[in-house]
Structure 1
Amino acid sequence: MQTNMLYKMFVDIFKKMAVLILKIIGRFELSNLGAYLINLKTQYHIKKMRSTFINEQSREIK
């Protein structure tokens, strides 16, 4: 019974945090921060793709 109450409290806090984060993101969506985050994400994906591509190339050479 006690763990159930703790779980409900945790879920409520998590939901409130999620709503707050979404509100903040919505406010910055069209600003520089949104563009910066999108840029970081795409750079990460490009680096990841490049590293897998290089790994596959080196395997073919061997």
Structure 2
Amino acid sequence: GLNNKALSVLFAILISITYGWIYNSVQANTLAASLQVFNLDVSYTGAVVAILLGLIIFGGIHRVAKASE
């Protein structure tokens, strides 16, 4: 490694932001854009995705495992 603790902490923070927010936003945007072909409003698609994601996350580790298997 580079033996630079500050750089490793910065990398960990930035990669967490990237995987936690950016990639999920891109996936949701792609889903909403593809469903626009069927004249579905992106607001409804976003609301459904948010509700489903909330149910999975707040359902505990068992629901997360079941959704990801």
TM-score when scaled to structure 1? 0.44
User: Of the two structures, which has the highest relative contact order with CA contacts closer than 8 Å and spacing of 6 or more?
Assistant: 2
TM-score when scaled to structure 2? 0.40
* Structure number having the greater helix percentage: 1
